[in-house]
Structure 1
Amino acid sequence: MEFPSPLIGGRLIRRYKRFLADVRLEDGCEVTAHCPNTGSMLGCQPEDARVWLSESDNPKRKLRYTWELVDTGAGLACINTARPNGQARCAIEAGMVAELAGYGSCRSEVRYGSEKSRIDLHLSGHPSAPDAWVEVKNVTLCEAGVGYFPDAVTVRGQKHLRELMGQVAAGERGVLLFVVNHSGIREVRPADHIDPAYGKLLREAAAAGVEVLAYRADLESNGEPSGALGLGRAVPVCL
């Protein structure tokens, strides 16, 4: 999986109103870009950071540019939360996620669970394994090589864990897949210092049979964006 067009470099001036970011392009022009991330973006918006934008030629768009990548100082991070589901699906369908290989069908946004959720990916048609219900989470918070999730308190994330436990109890596979969109992350841990309730429930989910996986995107080549978003390597999850 690759970015749809060559990325444009610049420097972050500021992010504001959650969805907006002012960026100074390499030619000196200042533009306002769409910030496709409603979260805290903890550690991903340092002052004057190098950033990369994608450009759209859609005349109906209010903002021409979308913020995609940032150099956090500890590696490149993809902050566009619209990317991880596509990254995960492409990797699974290409057989790059060994634990989820062999399924004949992959569907997105399927309704399921007692709390009326929509699963990111539903895998079916495996010759010898039950259906897999895959919840995808984006990991960009990096501290000393450790990736932490979540980067803010997430009641919604706790709901997803309960739904996955329900699928396991029903005899199917519940899978939490961390898409590690930060080149500096070497392992993933629950962010107990940010949301201890989520960390506790994640451990309970794993003990109940929910599979917890993490795969890192190939974002960087010699310190510069590789132009790719593919998931290339599994990283350990430490609970």
Structure 2
Amino acid sequence: MRFQTPLVPGRLIRRYNRFLADVTLEETGEDVTAHCPNPGAMLGLRDAGMRVWLEPNDDPRRKLRHGWRLVELPGGHLAGIDTAVPNRVVREALEARAVAELSNYGTVRPEVKYGTRSRVDFLLSEPGLPDVYVEVKNVHLRRQGDWAEFPDCVTVRGAKHLAELSAMVAAGHRAVMLYLVQRTDCGRLRMANDLDPAYAAAFDAARAAGVEMLCYGTRIDHEGVRLGHALPVDDAPQCGEGGKTVADGIN
């Protein structure tokens, strides 16, 4: 997935109102308000003074002339903050048969109705094989070591998706939850039980029911975001035991 126009650097002043951010452009010193395409908590990615990258546009139908796309991280790493990007990246990868676990499937259909008033991100089909229901989640939280964590805030909708994928397995289909880590400084994935214990419990239940948990990293630069390597998913129970969470010890 390539950005439509060259990105421009700036310094974050503040992110507010969920979908807005004030940024000082480096080249001109101008303060602009940019669209923030991310309703989540964005922990560790919205601190004042962080260097960010914006995508300009000249579309007269848009109220804002910039969209926030990337955050610079220590060590030369980058994080993507646009929550619409993972589905675009995964669709390109599925159609190119670049996701190894799903490479046998030639038909990729997005936004297919299933479950209870829901639409699955992708439905894959291939003659002679069971259909595969694929949900995609954006991951960009990192707090300790090289662990990527999901979610960064409570997501009732996310837990519902896990239950609906479990129902697809019970009906004889394959079901996959694919976590796409949209930052380049992580090497593995676990659930953020301390932020949403209900989701962690739903994750454990879905995995026990046969939902396949996949995680892929991304290759991010100022040109775009592409699918990276597969990353391991923590195989321990994510809801913890005896009140202990997988995120214990995080400051």
3-state SS of the aligned residue for 2:122?
strand
User: Contact 2:6–2:222 at 8 Å: present in 1 too?
Assistant: no
3-state SS of the aligned residue for 1:230?
strand
Partners of 2:65 and 2:104 in 1: CA distance: 40
* Aligned match of 1:201: 202
User: Contact 2:97–2:106 at 8 Å: present in 1 too?
Assistant: no
Amino acid at match of 2:21: A
Stretches of structure 1 lacking an aligned partner (at least 5 in a row): 220-224
- The count of corresponding residues between Structure 1 and Structure 2 is 232
Matched, 1:227 2:223: yes
What is the TM-score when the length of structure 2 is the normalising length? 0.89
* Aligned match of 2:110: 108
Amino acid at match of 2:100: A
Displacement of 1:116: 1.8
Displacement of 1:62: 0.1
* Aligned match of 2:84: 82
Deviation digits for residues 175-212 of structure 1, max 9, x if unmatched? Answer: 00001101111101011111111111101111111000
* Aligned match of 1:148: 149
User: Contact 2:176–2:213 at 8 Å: present in 1 too?
Assistant: yes
Displacement of 1:3: 1.5
Partners of 2:128 and 2:26 in 1: CA distance: 53
Q: Structure 1 residues 97-106 or 183-192, which shifts more?
A: 97-106
Displacement of 1:71: 1.7
Root-mean-square deviation (CA, aligned residues, Å) is 1.2
* Aligned match of 2:96: 94
Displacement of 1:73: 3.4
User: Contact 2:15–2:21 at 8 Å: present in 1 too?
Assistant: yes
* Percent identity of equivalent pairs: 52
Partners of 2:133 and 2:4 in 1: CA distance: 28
Q: How does 1:19-58 map to 2 (within 5 A)?
A: 19-27=19-27, 28-58=29-59
Displacement of 1:226: 4.4
Deviation digits for residues 42-77 of structure 1, max 9, x if unmatched? Answer: 111122001001111211100010000012437311
Q: Structure 1 residues 128-137 or 169-178, which shifts more?
A: 128-137
Amino acid at match of 2:224: A
Partners of 2:67 and 2:18 in 1: CA distance: 13
User: Contact 1:102–1:127 at 8 Å: present in 2 too?
Assistant: no
3-state SS of the aligned residue for 2:90?
helix
Partners of 1:134 and 1:38 in 2: CA distance: 22
Partners of 2:222 and 2:12 in 1: CA distance: 20
Amino acid at match of 1:212: M
Amino acid at match of 1:23: V
Matched, 1:169 2:165: no
* Aligned match of 1:237: 233
User: Contact 1:46–1:72 at 8 Å: present in 2 too?
Assistant: no
